Structure 1
Amino acid sequence: MTPELLRERLAQAGDERMKVAEDLFGVADFLRTNSSVQRALTDPSREQSDKDALVDRLFAPVVSAVSIQCLHDLVAGHWSRPRDIVHAVEEAGCDAVLLSAQFDGVLEETEAQLVAVSVFLQSHRDLRNELSDLSALSPKGRADLAQSVFQSVLGQPSMRLLRRCVGRTSHGHLLGKLRELAVRAANLSGRRFVFVESAHELSDDQKMRLEKILETKLASPVSATYTLRPELLGGLVIRMGTERVDASLATRVGALKRSIVG
C-alpha cells in the first residue's frame, strides 16, 4: 500500500486517524499468529472479492470502515510468501502514525524524536538490550519501560512508534527499526535522510555546509543525523539509502597499509 493511497484513506478518517493505525497494528498481531489466514489472504488463485469478504467477516466488527478500506487495499497486493502480509500491515500501521503526525503538523518533530531516541540508545547499551531482549520482559513490559524512560521528551506519535518497536522488534534490530522509521518520516515530507558519522563533533557551520553540498548532489532537501565515531580518526562516513561514501581517515590509512604490504 503506497503512502499516497494511505494518506487519501486517512483524510477520510478525520480525528480518527490514529485509530486506523491502532486497527492495523491489531490486525498485524492477529495475522502474525494465524498462518492459515495469511495464506487465505495472499493466495493468488483466490478471487479478490473472496479476500475482501474474508477481511470483512474477520475484522469489520472490530475496526473502522476506513481501516477495512486499507485492508482491502493491502490484500489486493501480490505476495512472495504468505507471511509478507504481516510485514505489510505492520508497515501500514507505522505509516499511519507518521501520516497522522503530518496531518497534525508534527512530522518533523516526530522524526527528530525518533532519531534522538536511537542516538541515546546507541550509547546506552544496557537499556538498549533490556528493551530488545525478548526473554527478559513481555512486549508490554518492554513498551512500558520505554515509556517510563522517554515519556517526558516524546510526543504521542513518536511514543506510539517506540512502544511498537520495543514490543515487536527482535534482539539486535531495535536501532535499525527506529532509524528506518526516521527515514520513512523524512521521505513522507519529501526529504532524503542522510546518516553522517564523524570522528569529531562538527560545528553548526560545518553541518550547514555539508547539508548544502548533499542537497545539491541529491537534488532534494535533506534531513541529516550525526553520530560520533572516534575510531574513524578523521573525515566522514556518509550513508544515503543504499549508497555509502567512506571518506574517513581510518579507511585511508587502512588502504595505505594494504598497498604497502602488497
Structure 2
Amino acid sequence: MAGASSESLAAALADLETTLPTASLSLARELFGIVGVLDGSAGLRRALTDPSREGAEKSALVRSLLEGKASAEAVAITAKLAASRWADARDISDALETLASTVAIAVAEQGAGAAGGLSGLERVQNELFAFKSAVEGNHELQAALTEPQATPDAKRALALRIVPGVSEEGSLLIGQAAAAPRGHRPTALVEKFAALAAARQKRWIAEVAVARELTNAQAGRLQTGLNALYGRDLKINTTVDPQIMGGVRVTVGDEVLDASTVARLSELRRQLAAQAR
C-alpha cells in the first residue's frame, strides 16, 4: 500500500486510537465481517474508492448498506474510510482488515493487571507465532488450511485445534487468518497480525540513553517520571552514551524526547540532578 492509500490508512489508525481504550472484540469481529462484505463485491469496492465521487457520497453509501446491520461504531469507522482517498480498490479492504486486527490486539493490551499492557501484547504475539510455527512445520496442516473444498468454518476450527488454549484475542486473529486469508497463506496473515502486535509493544518500551550511568534512586525517579508522562507502566531499557546532549534522550515508539524538547524533559532532568547531589 503506497501513496494516497498509505496516507489514508495512517490517518485511520490515528483516529482509531481514540476508540481503542474502550474497544471490544465484538467491534473487531464486526470490522472483519465488513471486510468480507467488501471482498465479496468488486463493484462496491470500486464505488467506495472511485476518485471522481465525493467523500460524503461514499460515506452515505456505506451508511445505507450497514446501518441497522452493524454497530454505530463499526459503521462510523467504515464510512470514514470510504470518505478517504485510495489508490487501488483492494486497498480499502486491506485497510479495514488492519483496523480490525488492531482493535483485537488493543483488547489484549487492555487486559487487567499483569494480563494487560506489554504482557498482554506479548501473549497474543506468542500465540500467533505458535500457530505459524506449527503450520509451517507440517505439510499436512498447510494443505488442509488451503484446501479449496474446505469451508471457512472448517478451516477456522482446524486452526484453533492447532493452538488450544489461546486467548480470545488470539483465537479471533488465528481463526480469521485461517477462514479468510484473502489470497494469502494463513501463516502470512498471522505474521502480519504479529507485526502489528509488535508495533504496539513499542509504546510500552522506553529506550533511554543517558550521559552517565544512573544510580538505583535515579532509575526509580526516571521510571516514575516516565510512567506519569505516558500514563502507563513502561519497560525501560537504559544505555550510557557520554555524547548525549542535555544528559538524557528518551525514545518511546516513534516519539523521541531529547534536548530539543526541554519542556517535557526538564522535570525528569531535575529529578535526576537532585538525586545526584
What TM-score do the two structures reach when normalised by structure 2?
0.63
Structure 2 match to 1:204: none
Alignment partner of 2:169 out of 152, 157, 172: 157
Q: Which residue of 1 aligns with 2:108?
A: 101
CA distance in 1 between partners of 2:251 and 2:140 (Å): 37
Q: Distance in 2 between matches of 1:109 and 1:77?
A: 34
Identity of aligned residues (%): 24
Matching residue within 134, 148, 152 for 2:161: 148
The 5 A counterparts of 1:145-224 are: 145-152=158-165, 154-169=166-181, 173-190=185-202
Q: Deviations over 1:18-41 (max 9, x none)?
A: 121111111111111112211111
Q: 1:26 aligns with which of 26, 33, 42?
A: 33
Post-superposition CA distance 1:78-100 (Å, at most 9, x none): 21222221222122211111112
Aligned-pair Cα RMSD in Å = 2.8
Match of 1:63 among 66, 70, 73: 70
1:112 alignment partner, SS class: helix
Contact 1:20/1:96 (<8 A) preserved: yes
CA separation of 1:186 and 1:221: change in aligned 2, threshold 3 A: farther
What secondary structure sits across from 1:183 in the alignment?
A: helix
Is 1:119 aligned with 2:137?
A: no
Whether the aligned pair in 1 keeps the contact of 2:54 and 2:83 (CA below 8 Å) is no
Question: Which blocks of at least 5 consecutive residues in structure 2 are unaligned?
Answer: 1-8, 204-236, 242-249, 254-277
User: Which moved further from structure 2: 171-180 or 91-100?
Assistant: 171-180
| Equivalent pair of 2:156/2:179 in contact (CA under 8 Å) | yes
Flag as ranges the 4+ runs of structure 1 deviating above 6 A.
219-222
CA gap of 1:171–1:85, structure 2 versus 1, over 3 A, is closer
- The letter for the 2-side match of 1:35 is A
TM-score by length of 1: 0.67
1:221 is displaced (CA, Å) by: 8.8
- Measure the CA separation in 1 of the matches of 2:82 and 2:132: 32
Partner of 1:225: none
User: Does residue 57 of structure 2 align to residue 50 of structure 1?
Assistant: yes
Q: Which has the larger radius of gyration?
A: 2
1:123 aligned partner, one-letter code: G
Say which is worse superposed, 2-11 or 105-114, in terms of deviation: 2-11
User: Which blocks of at least 5 consecutive residues in structure 1 are unaligned?
Assistant: 192-211, 223-262
- Cα distance change of structure 1 residues 221 and 111 upon mapping to structure 2, 3 Å threshold: farther
